[in-house]
Structure 1
C-alpha cells in the first residue's frame, strides 16, 4: 500500500512562477473555450452485465473489444480493518501468500501468468479489501480463471511453514523499505493519534511483532474466515461478454463452497477532544507540517463535497494553498490537501513542506487561516467547475485501460464492493459536476471546524526505532518439518489456444512548414489527445559547470509566460482538463500536453504559449531556485537519491557527458549562482524547433491535429546558435570497489552496482535484453528470486541495461535488510557469475521468456500512453515504425546459445563497481570480507562529486 502522504523530493517539489516580459516570440492568442463539464461526463461510460453464482460469487462483465485482452480482477472483502489486535498485517501477509502457489498450481503464480503473456498482474491490500488482478490475452482467459479460482478454493494445502516464513520475511523487508525513506514513520503516528481505537487505527502492513508471532494455524484460520466466493467480487473487462463469461466462471468457481461472510466492523468517525500537535525528528531536508481530521467514508453524502473542498484548498495547481503559501508569500516549497477515502472512514489531510529558514509555526498558522477562510466564504463557482473538469478528464484517461491499478475493472469492482453499485464511480463524477459552492462550504464547516491533529517532522536524528531492527533468531517462529508437496485434485492447467501476434497501430509521419516532424498514431478508445514535443537535448545537454540549469529552466516554462502568470496558466489548464508537463531523460528533453480531444484547441493554445513565450521572471527564478535547492537537499536524505548521485561518476568517468546523470536535481553550488541569462541561454540553445520532433496519439485524424499544430508552431524559428552535444570523451569506469555512503540508523541498505559494457548502442540489443529477463528483469529473474523468494532479505531486486543513445551500462539495484548487506552482495555475485558461466539460460527459461514477451504485446500496448512511449523509443533507436509488428519473429528465432553468448560478451562479474547506502557501523564489517576496497563517504559529501567529474 502506498501512503497518501507526499514526500519532499526533487521529483515532487511543487514549482510555480509569475510572469514579467522576457522572451516573447509571438503574442499569445486567447485560449479557446473549453466544452462544458457536463459534456465531458457523458463521455465516461462503462456498461456492464452482472450475475451471481449459487455460492455467492458476484461477477461483473464489461465488454471492450479494442484489443484481444481481458482484465481479470478479484476483490475480497477483507482488509486491515478486519484484523483483531495481535494479528495486524494478516490481510497483507495473505496477499503475498496467495501468490506463492495453490494446490493445483504449485509455485509462484508469476510463472504460469508470464507464460501466457499476462500484463498488469499484481495484488494490493488496503484498509478495506485485498485484490488480485491480471490482464491476459483472450485465449488465456480460462487459465487465468483456473488460477484465480484455485487460490480461492484450493489454497490451504499449498501453505506450508516454509512458505509462511519466506513471505513473512519479504513483507518485513517491504516494511523496512518504506520505513527507510525520509518521513517514513509519519503514517504510523498519524493512525495511532488520529484513529486510535478504530478498526482503521493501524497500518495495513502491520507490526513486526504480530508478523513474527503468526503461526501456520493462525494464517490458515484467517483464510478460512475471509476468502470464500461469497466474500468476493470478480470482474472481467475486455474482449469478452457475459454470455461467454458465465459458463467459464461456473466451470472454475462454481464448485467452491461458500464460507463465512466478513463482518463489517463498527466504525464511527472519531473526533479528538482537542487539537493536538506532535513533533517528530527525522533525517529530512525540510520541516513538514501535516494537519489531519477524521472524516466520513466515501458513501457519505459529504464525501464528494469534502473531496472538492480538498482540491480547491490544495489539490488543484491553482489551489488556495499553492497560490498563498508557495507563489505569493513564499513560506512553503510544496503544499497539498485532500482526502484519503476509505469505505467507512476518511482522513482529510493538509500538508506543507516548509521553506528552509521559515518558522514552521508561522506556516501552521497560515494553514489555519486559509482553511478558515475557505470554510467561512466557500469556493467560487469557477473553482468548483475546475475541480470537476480536472476530475472528469483524469477519469476519461484512466478508463482507457481495462485492468491494472486503476482501469475499468477497478472502477466496477470498487463500486460493487464498497457501495453495492458497480456504476458508483459514474455517480460520483456526476455529483462532482453538479455540486455547488454552498454544499462544499457546508461540508468543510461541518467536518473541518473540529479539533485537528498536527504532526511536525523536523530535521534531526530519528529516535530509536525498534520496529526496524532485524528480528533476533530467538523470537522467530521455529521452522517446521518440510512438507510434502500437496497433490492437487483438479488436473493440469487449461491449455491456451494460439495467441495472435500484435497489430501495432499504424504510424504516420508528416512535417510542419518549419520542418518539425510529426509522428502520429490514431487511437479511438478514449477521446483524448496526447502530444509530446521531444527535443534532442536531455540531461547530457546540461552545462557541465552549471549542473541543474535544465531543471530550473523546465520548472519555469509552465509557470509564467509573457501574457499569463502562473496562476492564470494553472486555471486555464484546469478549465480545459489538460495537463502540461516537462521533463528529461538522458538524451531527450520533453514538453507535453494531454487533454480531452474536445478541448484540444484550447489546450494547444496554452501549450504553445508555454513553449514559445516563457517569462523567466526574476522573482520567480528566485522562488523556484529555493524549491530546487530544497529538492536537492531532499535527495541527499534519500537512499535512492544518494546512490543515484554516487554511481554515475564511477562508471562513466570524468568528462563523459553521461556523468551528469549523477547530478540529480543539480549541483547546489551551481544552482545558487545561476543567472537569468544562463537560463535564457539554455532555452535558446535547446528548446527550439530545429531540435524538436512532435509525437502524437489521438482519436482525432492526423490532418486535424496537424492543422492545429501548424497554426501554433508552424512559424516558430530558433534564435541564435543551437546547442551541440560533445561526446568527445569515452566512458571510463573506475576499478572495482565498494563505495559505502554512511547513512546512520538505516534499517535497510540500498545496493547499487554497475559496469560499463562495450555494447554498441546504435545496434539492436534485443538478444541481450531478452537474456537479461532471465538474469535481472522482472519478478522471476534469478537475482530477484534469490534475494526475495529464496533468502527473503529484500522486497525486490532488479538488474538491467541502461540503453542510452551513446552508451550501454548495466546496473543492479537491491534494497536489503541491513544485517544481510554483505551476504546479499555475495548472493548477487554468485547469481551473475553462475549465469555467465555454468548456469546459463535453460530451455524452460527460454520458452517462458519468448512466450511471455510475444504474448504480452497486446496488453503491453493497450493504452495510448504506452503506444506514445514506444513511438519515441523506436525513433530514438532508429527502428522502423512497424518494429513491434515484426518483433515476434525475432523473438521466436532466438536460441539458448544466442542468449548465453550475448550475456557473456556484455558482462563480467569481476568488473562491477558497488555503491552501498546504509549505516556504516552495521554494514562496513560485512563489506570488509568481500575482497574489494571499501571507501566510506558521509552522505553530506555526495552533492558535489558529479560536478567535479562533469567539468573535467
Structure 2
C-alpha cells in the first residue's frame, strides 16, 4: 500500500533511499541564504496543488458485506481491479508466522471453476499491473484489464473469494511453501537482508502482533498444513472482510450490476473483531551490533510511532521528510555537505495500520570513526527535536509529497494508483477518499505541531542498531518467527471472530448463483490509440518530439544524448558516472542545497542516467510549474557546477557504491557475465558505469569537463516531452531555455562499436561468495543481431514461451514445479548495437547444479525439439494484442514508447500496428527466429554462491568450471 513520504519494509531491508548534496551552512541559515537564488524558480501555490487531487467515487455494500468502491476514469479503455482483504501477518497465531503470505501465493494457483494458473487467464485477456502482496495489516490482489475483460476478471476474483478450497491440493501447498522459502532466502541473501528481523524483533516485544516478520520463519512455513489452509480461508476471506475497488472506464450502475452478479452469491464469513494493538515503548534505550557483507558501517536510530490510523502519522511523515527525507534535509546538510562524515543519510516513517517505525540512518564515510558519526547524528536529531522544522522546510516537504501523489494518481491500478489509494482508505479508515483528507491535513500542518509531535515520539528510548562490514554471524533460516499468542488458527478464530458453532452462514446469499461453467466471453477490445507525435525544431537545430497527455497535470521531459556506456572504455569507465553524480548536485549558480530546494519548491524532480547507448537528463514537472522547471533542467545540463568539494564527496560515495556492488550477488553476476561475453566491447562494461577504484580516485575536474563538452552538446541531443501542455507552449519554453545553446566547432563524437567480441567459450564461472543461502545463476550469449538495424519483436515473442514471463517454461519449472526459486526467466537485451540473450535464476544453494541442468535442458528442448506450442502461441498472441492499451496508460509509458520510436527509426504508428502483427504470428515463425539466434552451446554460465557448497554440484554437468573471487 502506498503511504505518504514512507517506504516499504522490503525497501528498507535491502537498500537505503539516500540523498546526496552540498551546502556549507546549517539548515536554519540555509533557509534564509538561498531565498534570493531559489526564488528565481517561482512555483505555483500549495493550494493549487491540493486542488489538483480530486478522487470522486461511489460506494455501495452488498448484502453479504462486500464493500465496493467505484471511480470513473475514461482516459483509456482500462479498469483497475483491486481486492483488499483485512488480514495480514499480524493476524497469525503462534507457530504460523509467514502463513498470510503463503496463503496469498496459493490464491494464484487456480480455483474450483478456473483451475489454471491465475496468470494464464490474466495474460489471455491482456491484463497488466498484476500482482498480490501481503504486509502486517492486509493482503491485496490487483490487475488492470481492458474494459471488455471486466466480466471475466470479476468472475475470476469472485471464484478466488468464494470457490477456492476444492482446488487447493497438498502438492500445491508443498510447492508454494518451497517458493516462499526461496523468496525468504533471496531477501536474506542480499546485503542488509536480515534488517527486517532486527527492526521488528527489537522494537516490538514478544507477543506483540508486529513482533514477527511477514515472511515468517522456515520452521513455521514447514509446519503449515491443509487444515491451516482451510481455516485461514474460512476465517479471513469472506466478502464482509474485503474491499473491492473498480477504477477506470465504467460507471457505477454498470459496476453494481456486474459485482452483484459475480460476488452476490458468496456467503458471509465470520464477523471480525480486531484485537487492540498498542504502540510499545522500550523500557530503556538499547544498542545492538551486527556484521554483514556491506561496504561501510551503517548506523540506525529507531523508534516506534503511531500508525496510519492515527491523526499523528501525517505530521510524523513531514518530520521524517524534513529531518532526512528531502534532498535538502537537515541531516544531508549537516553530515553529508557541511561536515562530510557520512556518504549518505536518510530518515523514513514506515507506517503500518496500528503502529509505525521511525528510522534514521547514516552510512559512515570510509576512514571516519563511526563513534564520531554517531555523536554527530545524535546531535542533529537532538537539535531537530529542540527547534522543529522551519516554515520553509515544511512547505517544501508538503509540495514534494503533493507532487508524488499527483503523479501516482495517473494510474487506475497497480501499486500506487487510484484503486489502491481508494482501497487503503476504505479498509483502514472507513473512508475511501482518505488520501484527500490526508493531503488537507498535511497542508494545514504547522511547524509547531510537527515539532511537538517529533519531540513527543522521538524523545523516548531508542533502538540503536550498528551494521559493521564483515562476515555474517547468523543467517535468516531461524529468523522471522518468535511470536507468542494463540496456539492455533482455530484458537485465533475463536478469540477474534464469532464462535463458529453459533455462526449460521449456510443461508447467506444475496443473488442467484452466476454461471461459472464457462469463462465469460471477452467483449470487443478497443485497440491502442497511441498519441499523435508532433515535432518541432529549435533555432539551434535541436529536435523536439511531443505527445499530449492530460490525465493529470504533469509533464515529463527527457533530453537524450548519443553517448551511454558506449562513450567510454575500460580505461575511462567511471568518468560519466562521476560527472552525472556531480551534475545532480548543483549548477554554476546554485550550490547543492539551493539546487535541491529549487526542485522541492517546484514539486519537480530532475534526474539523470545512462544505459549502454544513451545518456539522459529527465524532468518530472507539475504543469503549473513547467516554465521554471524547464529553466532548471536547462541550467543543469548547460551550466554544471563541478565544484571541487562536490566532486570529492561524490567520489567518496561512488567508491562506497563500488564496494557495495562487489558484495551484492546480483551485481557481481552482472559484472562478471558482461565481461565474459563481450570482452572489450563497450557492452562488456558493468551496467553501473563503475570500473575500478583506481580510476575513480584518479579522475579530475578537467576529466569531467572534457567528457561534458565532448558528449553533452546540442547537436548530439534530442528532446522528448509528454504531458499536459501543447507543442506550441513547450517549444516556446524550450526555445527560451535551450535555443541559444550552440554546438562547438569540433566534430560530433561517435560511439565505438567496432570492437571484436570474444568467440563463444561455454563454461561455468563460479564466483565464490561464502555463506550465501542462494546462488545467483546468470547465463548469457551475444547474438548476431544489431538492435539499430533489426526489430527484435519476434525473437522476444518467441522467448515469452521459453523464459519471458511468469508462465514461461524456465520459471514454471524452477519455481512452480520444483520450488527451487522465487522466480527465474530469460530475456533479449534491446541494445542499439549487439543484442544479447540472458537467463537469470536465483536458486537455493543446494540445487544450483540441478537448476543449471534444468535450464540447459529447457533451452535445448525449445530450440531443437519442442518449439512454441499451440497454447503458448495463443497466450503470446492474445497477451501482446490485448495488453497494448495497458502498456501505455501513463505519460511515462508514452514517453518510453516515443523514445523507442525515434531511437530505432520506427514509424509513428509503430505500436498501433503491433496488434495486427501479433494476430498473424505463427509458431513456425517464432520457432525459426529462436533457432536462428539461440544456441545453448554458446551460453556462458556465471554462478555467484558459496563455492564450498556449489562446486561439487557442478561436476556432473560436463562443463569446464572456473572458480574466482569477486573482482573489479
- Same fold by TM (over 0.5)? yes
3-state secondary structure, aligned to 1:269: coil
- Deviations, residues 29-52 of structure 1 (Å, cap 9, x unaligned): 963310111110100011000100
Corresponding residue number in structure 1 for 2:49: 40
Structure 2 distance, partners of 1:87, 1:803, is 44
In the TM superposition, residue 241 of structure 1 has moved relative to its aligned partner by 1.1
Structure 2 distance, partners of 1:62, 1:239, is 9
Paired residues of 1:104 and 1:489 also in contact (CA < 8 A): no
Corresponding residue number in structure 1 for 2:4: none
Corresponding residue number in structure 2 for 1:209: 219
Paired residues of 1:74 and 1:235 also in contact (CA < 8 A): yes
1:911-926 alignment runs, 5 A limit: 911-926=938-953
Paired residues of 2:219 and 2:478 also in contact (CA < 8 A): no
Paired residues of 1:29 and 1:605 also in contact (CA < 8 A): no
In the TM superposition, residue 767 of structure 1 has moved relative to its aligned partner by 1.1
Change (3 A) 1:322 1:176: same
Q: 1:740 aligns with which of 766, 772, 775?
A: 766
Paired residues of 2:764 and 2:940 also in contact (CA < 8 A): yes
Q: 1:140 aligns with which of 134, 140, 149?
A: 149
Structure 2 distance, partners of 1:352, 1:720, is 46
Q: 2:859 aligns with which of 832, 857, 869?
A: 832
1:76-115 alignment runs, 5 A limit: 76-115=85-124
1:252-651 alignment runs, 5 A limit: 252-465=262-475, 467=477, 490-651=516-677
Q: 2:247 aligns with which of 229, 234, 237?
A: 237
Change (3 A) 1:430 1:29: closer
Corresponding residue number in structure 1 for 2:835: 808
- Deviations, residues 604-644 of structure 1 (Å, cap 9, x unaligned): 12111111111111111111100000000000110011011
- Deviations, residues 677-727 of structure 1 (Å, cap 9, x unaligned): 111110111111111110000211110011001000001123463432122
Structure 2 distance, partners of 1:820, 1:114, is 30
Paired residues of 2:72 and 2:247 also in contact (CA < 8 A): yes
Corresponding residue number in structure 2 for 1:752: 778
Change (3 A) 1:549 1:905: same
Corresponding residue number in structure 1 for 2:505: none
Corresponding residue number in structure 1 for 2:729: 704
Which is further off, 54-63 or 261-270? 261-270
Which is further off, 265-274 or 405-414? 265-274
Paired residues of 2:24 and 2:338 also in contact (CA < 8 A): no
Paired residues of 1:684 and 1:720 also in contact (CA < 8 A): no
Q: 2:159 aligns with which of 114, 136, 150?
A: 150
In the TM superposition, residue 262 of structure 1 has moved relative to its aligned partner by 3.4
In the TM superposition, residue 662 of structure 1 has moved relative to its aligned partner by 5.5
Change (3 A) 1:686 1:6: farther
1:875 paired to 2:902: yes
- TM-score scaled to structure 2, two decimals? 0.93
Structure 2 distance, partners of 1:668, 1:886, is 48
In the TM superposition, residue 12 of structure 1 has moved relative to its aligned partner by 5.7
Corresponding residue number in structure 2 for 1:848: 875
In the TM superposition, residue 888 of structure 1 has moved relative to its aligned partner by 1.1
In structure 1, runs of 5+ residues without a counterpart are 21-26, 470-487, 944-952
- Deviations, residues 269-328 of structure 1 (Å, cap 9, x unaligned): 110011111000111111111111001111212111111110000110100011111111
- Deviations, residues 872-909 of structure 1 (Å, cap 9, x unaligned): 11222211122111111111111010000000000011
Structure 1 distance, partners of 2:336, 2:944, is 33
1:882-897 alignment runs, 5 A limit: 882-897=909-924
Which is further off, 268-277 or 256-265? 256-265
Structure 2 distance, partners of 1:213, 1:719, is 70
Change (3 A) 1:662 1:569: closer
In the TM superposition, residue 8 of structure 1 has moved relative to its aligned partner by 8.2
Paired residues of 2:38 and 2:594 also in contact (CA < 8 A): no
Change (3 A) 1:212 1:489: farther
In structure 2, runs of 5+ residues without a counterpart are 2-7, 26-35, 480-513
Q: 2:189 aligns with which of 180, 192, 195?
A: 180
Structure 1 distance, partners of 2:39, 2:909, is 39
- Deviations, residues 722-771 of structure 1 (Å, cap 9, x unaligned): 43212221322441011100000000000000011112321122111110
Q: 2:9 aligns with which of 3, 11, 28?
A: 3
- Deviations, residues 177-199 of structure 1 (Å, cap 9, x unaligned): 00000011111011101012320
Structure 1 distance, partners of 2:10, 2:453, is 21
Alpha-carbon RMSD: 1.7
Structure 1 distance, partners of 2:190, 2:273, is 35
Aligned residues: 915
Corresponding residue number in structure 2 for 1:693: 718
3-state secondary structure, aligned to 1:505: coil
In the TM superposition, residue 542 of structure 1 has moved relative to its aligned partner by 2.1
Paired residues of 1:593 and 1:607 also in contact (CA < 8 A): yes
Paired residues of 2:342 and 2:373 also in contact (CA < 8 A): yes
Paired residues of 1:180 and 1:748 also in contact (CA < 8 A): yes
Structure 2 distance, partners of 1:706, 1:439, is 44
Corresponding residue number in structure 2 for 1:671: 696
Structure 1 distance, partners of 2:373, 2:41, is 38
Paired residues of 2:760 and 2:781 also in contact (CA < 8 A): no
3-state secondary structure, aligned to 2:105: helix
Paired residues of 2:14 and 2:187 also in contact (CA < 8 A): no
- Deviations, residues 547-579 of structure 1 (Å, cap 9, x unaligned): 111000001112121111000000010000000
In the TM superposition, residue 15 of structure 1 has moved relative to its aligned partner by 3.1
- TM-score scaled to structure 1, two decimals? 0.94
Structure 2 distance, partners of 1:663, 1:387, is 30
- Deviations, residues 503-551 of structure 1 (Å, cap 9, x unaligned): 1111111111101100110001001011000000001112431211100
Paired residues of 1:166 and 1:789 also in contact (CA < 8 A): yes
1:857 paired to 2:857: no
Structure 2 distance, partners of 1:217, 1:595, is 53
In the TM superposition, residue 661 of structure 1 has moved relative to its aligned partner by 3.4
Structure 1 distance, partners of 2:752, 2:292, is 42
Change (3 A) 1:211 1:489: farther
3-state secondary structure, aligned to 1:422: coil
Structure 2 distance, partners of 1:131, 1:936, is 43
